[in-house]
């Protein structure tokens, strides 16, 4: 089954062709980083306009690289949430139009489901059930994954997502946008033991996350640090390393607690922050001590991409699920709400 996946949930316009939910023939991503860089974050109105300019070309490139025609499609999958409303609408209405013209079914996909299933684009994949951590600029959530389409939320961020905290700290340090890669690069030069930033573990046994307090602590430290002339012995690299260490400590501990509570033997980490090498190394080390296998999508499939949407769409289309033309986008879209709202069997 050839499935076209389209994602315009935030600031990347992406389209991909995936066969049978695990063989990517193409994955085209048009990044808007240069457009939003001067603002230190994504400007929703600009993002929507850029999607409009690029959606047709991006989809055409996906077909060209896959070396198939539109008539060879068996289905279309498109992100309908969560995300920026204006951005999501561009992808959804393009998918609806193409579905109508070609006479092929389409399915609305939850962006987080796409992240969870992105690992199935790799050769080495986990067995069900497993614990999944989706960690990016907009989301930090833990799930128990019993099978395709069978997700139970274990915990989520109560405020800022981890990736959002990276962006804000990078802005505080004048490092630019996006924050994840620049913080990670600078942290290599720093000493993470120089500053003890807080770890928000919340109440005992909680698998929820909170990074707003950490962000505030870093902001207060940086302001005092600069007012006193940046004291000898503490560098921007030390701040970056200490901040990153705080985030990773919390993420790894929560994941391992989720593994213990659910009794699984596999973990999947997906989303943009999953590209962070320190996070990957730490989690692999911790998991190995408990005989737990860790799976990561390659970096190209960690950030927003159409291929992961095609994977999620394939499994729903394969089960006979369809979306009709009345389906709309949702800025907030808990994965637990997926089936009762969207699909007719």
Is the pLDDT assigned to residue 342 strictly greater than 70?
no
Residue 337 has what pLDDT? 59
The range of the structural domain enclosing residue 17 comes to 2-116+301-342
266 lies in the same domain as 163: yes
Strands 106-110 and 75-81: parallel
Domain count, the chain: 2
Cross-sheet strand order for the sheet of 266-270: 150-156, 140-147, 130-135, 266-270, 293-295
Number of H helices, E strands in the chain: 12, 10
Q: Which of 260, 277, 296 is the last residue of a domain?
A: 296
What is the Cα–Cα distance from 41 to 140, expressed in whole angstroms? 18
pLDDT band of 338, cuts 50, 70, 90: low
Q: Which residue has the higher pLDDT, 86 or 137?
A: 86
195 lies in the same domain as 57: no
Beta-carbon contacts of 43 under 8 Å, excluding residues fewer than 6 positions away, are 36
Domain assignment present for 67: yes
Percent of the chain with pLDDT over 90: 87
174 lies in the same domain as 147: yes
Residue 41 has what pLDDT? 87
Residue 341 has what pLDDT? 38
Domain assignment present for 146: yes
What is the Cα–Cα distance from 37 to 178, expressed in whole angstroms? 7
Terminal Cα distance for the chain, rounded: 18
pTM for the full predicted model: 0.93
103 lies in the same domain as 170: no
Is the pLDDT assigned to residue 340 strictly greater than 50?
no
Domain assignment present for 264: yes
Beta-carbon contacts of 342 under 8 Å, excluding residues fewer than 6 positions away, are 80, 108, 323, 327
169 lies in the same domain as 223: yes
Q: Which of 296, 313, 330 is the last residue of a domain?
A: 296
Domain assignment present for 280: yes
How many of the other CB atoms lie within 10 Å of CB of 301?
Answer: 25
**Beta bridge partner(s), residue 28:** 15
Domain assignment present for 229: yes
What is the Cα–Cα distance from 267 to 277, expressed in whole angstroms? 16
66 lies in the same domain as 111: yes
Domain assignment present for 121: no
Give long-range contacts, CB 8 A cutoff, 24+ apart: 47-52. Answer: 47/10, 47/11, 47/84, 47/86, 47/87, 48/84, 48/86, 48/87, 48/89, 48/90, 50/11, 50/13, 51/8, 51/13, 51/87, 51/90, 51/91, 52/90
DSSP 64-125: HHHT--GGG--EEEEEEESS-HHHHHHHHHHHHHHHHHHT--EEEEEHHHHHHHGGGGSSS-
- Look over the chain and give the mean of its residue pLDDT values, rounded to a whole number: 94
Domain assignment present for 122: no
Q: pLDDT tens, 281-314?
A: 999 999 999 999 999 999 999 999 999 999 999 9
Domain assignment present for 170: yes
Q: pLDDT tens, 221-274?
A: 999 998 887 767 899 999 999 999 999 999 999 999 999 999 999 999 999 999
Is the pLDDT assigned to residue 344 strictly greater than 50?
no
287 lies in the same domain as 156: yes
What is the Cα–Cα distance from 201 to 238, expressed in whole angstroms? 23
- Looking at residue 193, which CATH number applies to its domain? 3.30.420.40
231 lies in the same domain as 323: no
204 lies in the same domain as 103: no
Give the least confident one: 61-70, 112-121, 328-337: 328-337
**Beta bridge partner(s), residue 246:** none
DSSP code at position 296: -
């Amino acid at each position: 089954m050839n499935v076209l996946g389209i994602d315009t949930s935030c600031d990347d316009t992406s389209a991909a062709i995936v066969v049978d939910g695990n063989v990517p023939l193409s994955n085209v991503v048009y990044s808007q980083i240069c457009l939003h860089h001067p603002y230190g974050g994504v400007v929703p109105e600009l993002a929507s306009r850029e999607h409009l300019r690029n959606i047709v070309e991006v989809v055409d490139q996906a077909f060209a690289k896959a070396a198939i025609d539109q008539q060879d499609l068996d289905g279309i999958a498109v992100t309908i949430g969560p995300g920026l409303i204006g951005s999501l609408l561009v992808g959804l209405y393009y998918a609806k139009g193409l579905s109508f013209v070609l006479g092929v079914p389409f399915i609305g996909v939850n962006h987080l489901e796409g992240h969870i299933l992105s690992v199935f684009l790799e050769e080495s994949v986990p067995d069900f059930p497993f614990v999944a951590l989706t960690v990016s600029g907009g989301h930090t959530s833990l799930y128990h994954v019993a099978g395709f389409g069978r997700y139970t939320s274990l915990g989520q961020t109560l405020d800022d997502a981890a990736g959002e905290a990276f962006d804000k700290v990078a802005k505080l340090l004048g490092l630019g946008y996006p924050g994840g890669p620049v913080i990670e690069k600078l942290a290599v030069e720093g000493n993470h033991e120089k500053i003890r930033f807080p770890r928000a573990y919340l109440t005992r046994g909680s698998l929820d996350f909170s990074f707003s307090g950490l962000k505030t602590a870093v902001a207060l430290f940086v302001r005092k640090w600069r007012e006193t002339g940046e004291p000898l012995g503490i560098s921007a690299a030390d701040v970056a390393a200490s901040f990153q260490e705080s985030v990773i400590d919390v993420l790894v501990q929560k994941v391992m607690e989720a593994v213990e509570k659910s009794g699984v033997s596999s973990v999947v980490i997906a989303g943009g922050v999953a590209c962070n090498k320190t996070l990957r190394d730490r989690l692999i080390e911790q998991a190995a001590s408990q005989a737990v296998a860790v799976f990561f999508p390659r970096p190209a499939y960690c950030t927003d991409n159409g291929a992961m949407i095609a994977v999620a769409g394939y499994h729903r289309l394969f089960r006979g699920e369809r979306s009709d033309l009345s389906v709309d986008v949702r800025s907030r879209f808990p994965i637990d709400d997926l089936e009762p709202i969207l699909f007719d069997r």
